[in-house]
Structure 1
Amino acid sequence: MPSKRWITTMSFLVAAMWLVASCNTPSGDMPKARFERTIELEQALGSGSALAVSTTSGSIEVAGQETDRVHVVATVVARAATKEQARDLAEQVSLRLEQTADGLGIRIDKPDPARRRFISISYEVTVPRQTGIDCSSASGSVNLADLTGEVSARTASGSVEATGIAGTIHLHSSSGSITCDRVDSAEVHLESASGAVRLTNGSALRVCQLLAASGPVTARRIEADSLRMASSSSRVTLNDAQAEAINLHAGSGSVTAGQVSCERLQAESTSGDISVAFRPDAPGDVAANVKSSTGSVRVVVPRDFAGQVDLRASSGTVRMSKPVAVTSKPGRNYVRGTVGDGAGSLLVRSGSGAIRIR
């Protein structure tokens, strides 16, 4: 059953895309007269408070600093048939900081949308480092940096970047990439409907989920309790990761994992090869389940791996370099038995491809 957060996020994205469609002028009909003005706001903001920022068209940049105030620089761009009309349109936009239940929010007052009138508002914001952020853009990128607190960002059309975040992170894009670096947090949820998802240098993570409906998913140098990476129609790549449980899934693409250490691993590809290489010092009693419907499978087990092995290829050969005490007669495409005397397990299936274990 979808979570409330998922339902809320998808509702935002649908509504945001409708707003973009209804408010924006088609590029071929974009009025050429342009007027730009800057609005600045500043107010005290206590450490540990939250700030809400949203725009229907425009980028958002939020950076944490050693300060006790929030400073907002808003760039308003208005387009209309004439320069005078564009100026008048921009001058009708007003912004103010309003108190919310847990901090501050930016309130926008602007004219209703009309044909051949266009307004975009972009933000550059500095806040105390210990500030929670909730921001959304219907059409524009979001960039967050050096923050401690719960961070949430959504965009219907644009990329999302977050760097140097300590706290729970929820980043969503309907059409755009998501990039996250230097994260030390309780939970990380990155999701793109159409775009790449990338996480690097994640430490002390409890739950980490990286999801893409259409785009590659990549992670590197990760420490987590549980790590889930999935792409419906592209590749999944993981390198240098340690977790209790790792789950990797590619609907249409390869799965590659190198230098991983975990107690439980599940890797699956509907249409693509799978390559998994454990660290030599990974737990010898790891429980690994690896399946590819149409592709080959290669697994490098931990140095001290010991336990049950069950390998089967429907159309391909099976080879294992470690000595196996077989429990049933092996075949060209089937091996079942034990390696050493341990509690580990390795189950590998390939629908159409070879299996290689060493």
Structure 2
Amino acid sequence: MVFHPPPWVPPLPGDHRGGVLNNQVSLGVLPFSHIYGLVVVAHVAHYRGDEVIVLQKFQLDQLLAAIQRFKIEVLYVVPPILVQLLSNHDKCKKYDLSSVRLAFSGAAPLGSEASHKMLELFPKWKISQGYGLTEASPSVLHSSETDSLMGSSGSLLPGVKAKIIDQYGKEVTEHETPGELYVQSPNITLGYLNNEKANAETFVWDKDGRWLRTGDEVLVRKSPGGFELFVVVDRIKELIKVKGHQVAPAELEAHLLDHPYVSDCAVIGVHDDRAGEVPLAFVVKSKEASGLSTEEVERSIHEHVESHKARHKWLKGGIRFLELVPKSPSGKILRRLLRSQAVPVSKKELAKL
């Protein structure tokens, strides 16, 4: 099944309304060396005529002060920034954030649990998501402010076609069935210069033409308005294979962030002789965890996961505590660094399972 854009066009945040361009004050904290910040903030926002408040880097107090001082209306952010707002809600209360109308998240999936929590703490905000990649120049999906679904990255942008291919190479034709997202549009790159191997792996042809394999697992879900919206599950190469089951780190991370003792986290898969892989969580403790022993915090987190998730999603690889989750300038978790930390520890732990 080939998916097409909906009959309505999902507008960019603050786009034309009633034929009149509504200029807005937008946040420019994302690095312009990344495709999201470069196109959406540096190019599109200026093309619209917006006032963009550029911060040198993300620092929570500076961001909050900028919102208050410049009456910023739209926050172009990545999930880790929203996590910091959730974890420091008491600090947020010290600033006037009433100007904010929309928080638009991209670069990585923002789970429905985190989205709902954002709305609980900031009820006057709208939470929206988009999805894209450098090879698509960059946008593929975009949420509508009028027909959104928590955890969804929205619907296809005009000119974009998509299909979903399951792990057996068959096209997905049903809702709620995951598979790899393939996209086709005029803005897809011609290919990688002098890298035929990457071109052969990334671009495929069929009767419908040339497709870009995104490497991301998605599923389609019906919105309240009856439209087909895409939910980005995770990078396929990041999925944890537990006894034949696929576990998305992003799902577990979103659930862990709902725990009061967790300020930030990351989940990776580690080897297990019986299960193939098992999830291991790296956790940054919140202020609420101060005064508690490591064992108490660990036990509480395990109970939180085991009371809400299927058995194969339990943290059988254990929990490791650290001061900071390593992330790229665009906000993506640097799992390769966590894997290097996990190797000497996980072997010892897995022997106890």
- TM-score band by shorter chain is under 0.3
Q: Relative to total residues, which structure has the larger strand share, 1 or 2? A: 1
TM-score of the two chains, using structure 1 as the length reference: 0.23
Q: Relative to total residues, which structure has the larger helix share, 1 or 2? A: 2
Q: Which has the higher contact order (CA 8 A, sep 6+)?
A: 2
TM-score of the two chains, using structure 2 as the length reference: 0.23
